[in-house]
Chains A and B, each alone.
Chain A
Amino acid sequence: MTTDSKWGKETLRQMLLIRNFEETADKLTLRGKVPGGMHNSSGQEAVAVGVMSALDPKDVIATTHRSHHHTIAKGMPVNIVMAELFTKATGCSGGRGASMHLADVENGHFGGNGIVGAGVGIAMGAALGIKQMGHKKVAVGFVGDGGVNTGRTWEAVNMAVIYKLPLIIIVDNNQYAVETFVERVTGGNDIAKRGAGFGLPSFTIDGQDVEEVHKHTSEARNRALAGEGPTFINALTYRYYGHNVGEKGQYRTQEEIADWRSHRDPIDRFSAKLISEGALTQADYEAMIKSVAKEIEEAVDFAEKSPLPDVSTILDGVDSGLLGARK
């Protein structure tokens, strides 16, 4: 199927923006700029952009420890994301969260998370809120292949099914839980089948194909809005870097990484398609790469120049104080 040129260019640019952000942030992390490190999502751009391009900006997401790509695709400006990684006052969480706790609840980003599997539950709760309040929106819960082996994920899936909640569960399946290959620890070795066991539409899809991710998410969203309840999508993808910055590990071969990079890279695949269809010229593509690099450079500059949070605020916002807690 031919891709709409405007949508294609926006989608491609988003993926390029994420890739450049991650590779830049990775280097800065090694230089000590990102306290606590970060989880690089390079290679997984199509899952984030494919899902988010199918959502309304006001739809809700809740995600995982590896969430820069989801956050940027959700529409958060990269300078705000970078500033949060630097734990600066101008970051989306005021420097209180860093890489793992990116959020913009007001705009439907209910947060990255330090706890494996927690995002699906929070998104399920948001979907319940949407239903209770009669709104026409959906919530998306991201989980990794590691999180599909924690109990709370399936409690949330089951609850979404019985209450017919407008929820989409996306397994951002990069195949390694830290350094453990998914097949070694996943009984039955078919994650979508587990989902199907809870009685909801459940698919395994090519997470390196941004259009396929978009299509499945759109269909899931339509079902959710029609009151048909949740959908479970297991999107196969791959991360190029270690679990955390600077980790190399012996758990996979360099050949495996090179194979995914050279044969299944979501950006290469999609840009080649757009160029072959005439939707994008090589010159356009190069200009796009340059403009993305400039945007990230400016984001780093913004983050560098931003002030640190005021230490005297460490007790602020623990609670509202309305119950008297600040007495």
Chain B
Amino acid sequence: MEEVFVPAVGMAMDNVVLLEWLKNPGDQVNAGDVIAIIETDKTTMDLTCETSGTLGAHRYAINSEVPAGQTIAVVLAPGESE
């Protein structure tokens, strides 16, 4: 199971907003796919997955604030469940 999360980077903890989901729960995803787009105080950023599998539940709604470091969804390998 891979956790797709909002990375904590830099010296200021930005307010991160989840702008858009590009993959839905149950979708097959491939390594490198963009799962979601987030917006920080400075820029927008793609969140990609590193493994292939099935996307789990969306843990945050569009336009909600996500704390840095938090998982927004998981990528499940065959046979895995959340």
Contacts and interface: CB of A to CB of B under 8 A. Distances in A.
A–B direct touch, CB within 8 Å, in complex? yes
Which interface class (under 10, 10 to 19, 20 to 34, 35 or more) fits A? 10 to 19
B82 to A, nearest CB: 19
Say what secondary structure dominates the interface of chain B. Answer: loop
Given A32-B68, A32-B69, A246 B5 contact: no
Given A30-B69, A33-B69, A245 B11 contact: no
Contacts of A33: 8, 69
B9 A31 contact: no
B69 A245 contact: no
A37 interface: yes
11 contacts: A30-B5, A30-B8, A30-B69, A31-B7, A32-B8, A32-B68, A32-B69, A34-B8, A37-B9, A246-B7, A246-B9
A29 B8 contact: yes
Contacts, number: 32
Interface string A241-270: 000111100000000000000000000000
Q: Which of A32, A34, A247 has the most CB of B within 10 A?
A: A32
A36 interface: yes
Interface in A127-159: none
Interface string B1-29: 00001011111010000000000000000
A103 to B, nearest CB: 20
Say what secondary structure dominates the interface of chain A. Answer: loop
A134 to B, nearest CB: 43
Contacts of A36: 11
Q: Which of B5, B8, B70 has the most CB of A within 10 A?
A: B8
Interface in B61-82: 67-70
A31 B69 contact: yes
A244 B8 contact: no
Contacts of B68: 32
B5 A31 contact: yes
A29 B62 CA distance: 25
A37 B10 contact: yes
A202 B11 CA distance: 37
Nearest to B12: A36
A30 B3 CA distance: 12
B74 to A, nearest CB: 14
Contacts of A244: 9-10
A244 B12 CA distance: 13
B10 A30 contact: no
Contacts of B8: 29-34, 37, 246
